[in-house]
Amino acid sequence: MGLPKDLGLQGNDFSWMATAFFIGYAVAEFPQGYLLQKFPLAKVLGFNVLCWGITICCSAAAQNFAGMVALRTLLGCFEAVISPALILSTSQWYTKRESGPRYGIWYCGLGAGQIVGGLVSFAAQHGAKSASFGGWRIMMVSIGAFNIGVACVVLAILPDSVHQARFLTAEEKAAIHRKLIIDQGGNGKKIFKLASLGEMFLDSQIWLLLLLTVLIVIPSGVITTFSATLIRGFGYDSKQSALLNMPSGIVSIASTLLCTFAILRGFPRWLSIVLLLIPVIIGAGLMSFIAKDNQSGKLAGIYLINFIVAPLAIIYIWVGANTAGYTKRVASNALIAIGFSIANIIGPQTFQAQDAPDYLPAKITIFAVAGGAMVISILLRLLYGFRNRHNMKNREAQLAEIAASGVEAVNDDQTDRKNPAFVLSGEPLKMPHAERTPIEPPSLIVVTGANGFIASHTIHLLLKAGYRVLGTVRTAQKAELVQKTHAQLTPDAVAAHLLRTAVVRDITDPEAYTALFQTATPPPAAIMHMASPFGYDVTDFERDLMQPAVRGTSAVLSAALATSSVRRVIHTNSFACIYDASLGLRPGYTYTARDWCPLTYEDGVDGAKNAPMAYRASRAVAEKTAWSFMSTSMSMPMQASEQRKAKAPSFDMVSLCPAMVFGPFLDTPSSLPRSPDELNTSNKLVWDVVSAAGNDRNGDGDGDGAVLPPTKGPVWIDVRDVALAHVKCLVLPSDEMRGRRRRLMLAKGVYCNQEIADVSREVVTKQKLKQEGRIRIRIPVGKPGTREAHTHFAVDASEEEALLGDGGKWRGLKECMADLVPQLYRIEKPVEAQ
């Protein structure tokens, strides 16, 4: 394109132009990191893009080697911000698992630049023949102007943080924040911590990543800078070289996307790097040792060496996933970028004018550094495995303390070495496992809190389906009651010893659960954790609600971790984990499984608050504890055998969040409450509606003068549908449990007490219970047909209903009340009902 001639380049001047860029890049890394620490991220990035666009345009005016070297050095200073800024930006939006493909997508810009650059170069060379303004100068102005346009877009559109994103609602911002807390991700507080900087310099993983970066980037820098020069050395002219260099960009893009999306599916990072280096070595061999007149073979070697570009994207993924705390992450990114610069300084210097046109020493360098990079990748894998095994010893106890204290690592700016819930993304030496198969009969299922309302229905369905069940209760009396209930409903299953019960007096004791699970025969395949109190008649919120919910969850998960046979934990939570009462009734808003309750442990134990708030806090913190525990398996897919060695969960978890659960009790003498005073909390709400005779102002008992009680918790679902959802979650394969479907809201819809009254009066009339003299109708008349849905929020669990419903549908309120209301009257008057 005439650049060497126009600038009067001699000897190794072209190599020094490339080197000058990366000297500026290296020198500016820590100052740029400081700017990222002190100023808004998007503004720092946009300003630097603007400056390097202007600098590229100015390069078209260079008249000699000295002027171009000065501009190239300045260009390197401005471009030094790109990798740290993009890594930080990606990390503040996405979890460690989600970040990988995003790193790959923006890193594909390197390959896209090769393709577009080839086209621009080809076009500019055609324009240079008749123009006094050289083709390379045209290319500089074109590329510089484009970068200035990109800078304007970045400054105008890219938000500095999630909370400043104008295109997100407050709920969506909160959901992203909650997602990062669960993942122990995010960037932390934007403050400088000297201790975090010191930790980085003492962290062996950072130095291994730095060395790996240098080894990988030496050939990468060589091939991206000099590929067109090498192609010309094969006998092609400059125009042909520009076009023939474009497939290198295609190889770069394809290999980057392939490896990053393979990592998303669980493929090991270290093994991805090793496999990507194999074609690099083959390509170096073709370039170095194939016959000089074999143009196609040497060209194939060039293309194969471009596989070296993709491993750097994996290093960025590793740095983003395995460092935490804003200071440490910024400094680590800057140090890796310095390694990138050093390698790019070394790489061009392997191309000496005296070695032209074959440049054999440069080609042999590619062999050496590729082999060294393979060794470092394996060492990193071993280091991560060692650290995870070491940290796991005390992790359960530390996580319980985190849940109790309400400390969130992302908010507290904890580093990866200080945060006990942080799990390094190292992978097993074996290939990733296939999806887990469904858990089918006659597998053993542990059901905690087996005497509960939902648990009783769930055990009934499990036994009918042929599963073995081990139910835990707190007392021997409750164990006997569970056995008696199911012996009356499924006598064959109980006779075949498919149901066993065990007493766990302290549901917060992990050792009790561990001993039970590990001695069970056959070993349990899944655990349904339902043992948690639900009621508002408590006085000591911490003792009666918070501790059983939070510590009970940790205890069950710890026991599951110690039991290698467990493949899935189904954690029964509540709509209380989703509902944010602090925002009010929110007419027009629709809650989904993406929403989170913000209550903390302190909110739950505060005696100045009410029992409903304490209950909601107990459920919210318990679920947060569970997902913090499971962050290992979410961010680090493993084979079961390797997970057990590393003490990482070999099971997955499903969180079910049912709304107010209405519906009939199992219809046996031993399972029915003996009086309305023994009703569970949710069915007691229905009873309060259909038994309002004491409020009947007319005194005639027909309900036309009775006062309708106010609606509480206006979302509901039938208990039989909740039970079926638990059973269906056993047979859903793991790919159905990914992402949002790991957390499922169970809610048929909204209701109000007027609707319960209307439906119940219709049900009672149709069943002719009054005429038979068995009961007195005391259902308030109220204002028939009046509904309250417009006064409060809505819910949308349509995906969950299609996935877990009977035939994709859940029962309606009329069907639910038709079975429940007559049963409630029977409970009140058991003699008359017989």
686 vs 704: CA distance, rounded Å? 18
Residue whose structure tokens are 């143009």? 295
pTM: 0.52
The tokens for 102 are 């995003």
- Name residue 662's beta-bridge partners: 718
DSSP string, 97-156: HHHHHHHHHHHTHHHHHHHHHHHHHHHHHHHSSS-SS-HHHHHHHHHHHHHHHHHHHHHH
- Name residue 445's beta-bridge partners: 469, 526
Strand-by-strand arrangement of the 749-750 sheet: 660-662, 715-718, 749-750
The tokens for 806 are 């009977």
535 vs 817: CA distance, rounded Å? 22
Residues 6+ apart with CB under 8 A from 109: none
Residue-level pLDDT at 644: 40
Q: Measured on CA atoms in the order 662, 664, 669, 674, is the torsion positive or negative? A: positive
> Residue 243, exposed/middle/buried by CB under 10 A (0-12, 13-18, 19+)?
middle
Comparing CA positions, the residue from 575, 620, 588, 624 lying closest to residue 745 is 575
Residue 185 phi, psi (nearest 5): -110, -150
Residue-level pLDDT at 402: 46
Residue 445 phi, psi (nearest 5): -115, 125
The DSSP 8-state label assigned to residue 581 in this structure reads G
6 vs 693: CA distance, rounded Å? 101
Spell out the SS3 assignment of 348-416.
Answer: HHCCCHHHCCCCHHHHHHHHHHHHHHHHHHHHHHHHHHHHHHHHHCCHHHHHHHHHHHCCCHHHHCCCC
Residue-level pLDDT at 834: 39
101 vs 117: CA distance, rounded Å? 24
- Give the SS3 label for residue 691: strand
CA 308, distance to chain mean position in Å, is 29
> Residue 254, exposed/middle/buried by CB under 10 A (0-12, 13-18, 19+)?
middle
C-alpha distances (whole Å) from 740 to each of 112, 421, 744 are 33, 21, 7
Residue-level pLDDT at 223: 67
Parts of the chain with a pLDDT under 70:
1-2, 124, 127-133, 171, 175, 178-179, 181-192, 220-226, 326, 348-360, 362-363, 389-437, 534-537, 607-609, 632-648, 693-705, 734-741, 766-777, 830-834
Domains of the chain with bracketed CATH: 3-392 (1.20.1250.20), 444-833 (3.40.50.720)
